[in-house]
């Protein structure tokens, strides 16, 4: 039987005390998140915040040439649309669904209203924003200083943390777009990980066979991002 949908599948919403959650619950709308769906583009007005439950959203920076790379990912640990409560309203990045599933969305004026109550919801969102900033900074450093193989390990581990399955439905072309590298580089890196017995790859699917192997093979960037999330949001798992 499929698992019933619940806002508590998003760890930020699950961390709210009953009184604060009840003021939000009636306004949360369950929406499907389709692979490749664009939630917002650079410079456009955001209308909703999204709290992913079973989906993952990739935040991209898009260059003038059309080339892009992922700056951070958001899954059931967080929220998409931080500029709504940070006061910016728009952003220079885009948000694209990387892994299909579901999310709960909240209209922007309701998000601001709840944020301005200055309760636990506000503190959770601000702490999450700091964790997201850490992820963005670490991603930039990782892309500059570490091999494609290490970047792929980091990306796979962060993705595994957000899904219930060890099999990911994604193409090498999409991964290359996330990492901002050539597809041939991803093919070579995935081949090395497969030969090491860490993953099994077939067209459009990656199955993780040895998570510990990925962790020992990855650079420090995965651990930095994970540790900071746990430090800032110890009740968000």
Q: CA 120, CA 113: separation in Å to the nearest integer?
A: 13
Give, in degrees to the nearest 5, the angle at Cα 231 between 216 and 89.
105
Question: Residue 173 pLDDT > 90, yes or no?
Answer: no
Average pLDDT over residues 6-13: 94
Tell me the pLDDT tens digit for each residue of 50-88: 999 999 999 988 777 767 788 899 999 999 999 899 887
Structure tokens at 149: 């193989």
Contact 29, 120 (CB under 8 A): no
pLDDT given at position 187? 87
Confidence class for position 208, pLDDT limits 50, 70, 90:
very high
Q: CA 49, CA 47: separation in Å to the nearest integer?
A: 7
**Of 77 and 36, the one with more pLDDT:** 77
End-to-end, the C-alpha distance of the chain in Å comes to 24
Confidence class for position 198, pLDDT limits 50, 70, 90:
very high
Considering the segment(s) 147-218 as one domain, its CATH architecture is: Orthogonal Bundle (1.10)
Average pLDDT over residues 164-173: 82
Length of the chain in terms of residues written: 237
Question: Residue 107 pLDDT > 90, yes or no?
Answer: yes
Above pLDDT 90, what percent of the chain?
Answer: 49
Domain ranges in the chain are 7-143+227-232, 147-218
User: Are the folds of 7-143+227-232 and 147-218 the same?
Assistant: no
pLDDT given at position 183? 83
Question: Residue 195 pLDDT > 70, yes or no?
Answer: yes
Structure tokens at 78: 């967080």
217 exposed, middle or buried (CB, 10 Å; 0-12, 13-18, 19+)? middle
pLDDT given at position 119? 87
Tell me the pLDDT tens digit for each residue of 174-194: 888 778 788 888 889 988 999
Question: Residue 128 pLDDT > 90, yes or no?
Answer: yes
Average pLDDT, the chain: 88
Q: Which of 30, 37, 75, 29 is nearest to 55 (CA)?
A: 75
pLDDT given at position 237? 53
pLDDT given at position 138? 92
pLDDT given at position 2? 57
Above pLDDT 70, what percent of the chain?
Answer: 97
Q: CA 34, CA 18: separation in Å to the nearest integer?
A: 30
Confidence class for position 4, pLDDT limits 50, 70, 90:
confident
Q: Give CA 15 to chain center in angstroms.
A: 18
pLDDT given at position 50? 97
pLDDT given at position 212? 92
Confidence class for position 3, pLDDT limits 50, 70, 90:
low
Considering the segment(s) 7-143+227-232 as one domain, its CATH architecture is: Sandwich (2.60)
């Amino acid at each position: 039987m499929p698992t019933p949908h619940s806002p508590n599948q998003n760890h930020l919403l699950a961390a709210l005390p009953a009184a604060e959650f009840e003021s939000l619950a009636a306004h949360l709308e369950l929406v499907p998140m389709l692979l490749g769906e664009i939630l917002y583009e650079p410079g456009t007005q955001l209308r909703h915040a999204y709290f992913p439950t079973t989906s993952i959203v990739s935040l991209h920076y898009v260059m003038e040439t059309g080339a892009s790379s992922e700056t951070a990912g958001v899954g059931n640990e967080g929220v998409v649309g931080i500029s709504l409560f940070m006061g910016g309203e728009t952003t220079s990045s885009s948000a694209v669904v990387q892994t299909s599933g579901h999310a709960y969305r909240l209209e922007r004026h309701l998000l601001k209203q709840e944020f301005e109550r200055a309760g636990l919801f506000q503190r959770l969102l601000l702490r999450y924003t700091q964790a997201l900033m850490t992820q963005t900074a670490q991603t930039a450093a990782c892309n500059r200083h570490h091999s494609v193989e290490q970047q792929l390990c980091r990306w796979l581990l962060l993705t595994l943390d957000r899904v219930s399955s060890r099999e990911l439905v994604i193409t090498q072309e999409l991964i290359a777009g996330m990492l901002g590298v050539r597809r041939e580089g991803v093919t070579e890196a995935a081949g090395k990980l497969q030969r090491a017995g860490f993953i099994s790859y077939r067209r459009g699917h990656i199955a993780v066979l040895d998570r510990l192997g990925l962790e020992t093979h990855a650079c420090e960037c995965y651990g930095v991002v994970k540790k900071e999330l746990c430090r800032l949001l110890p009740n968000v798992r």
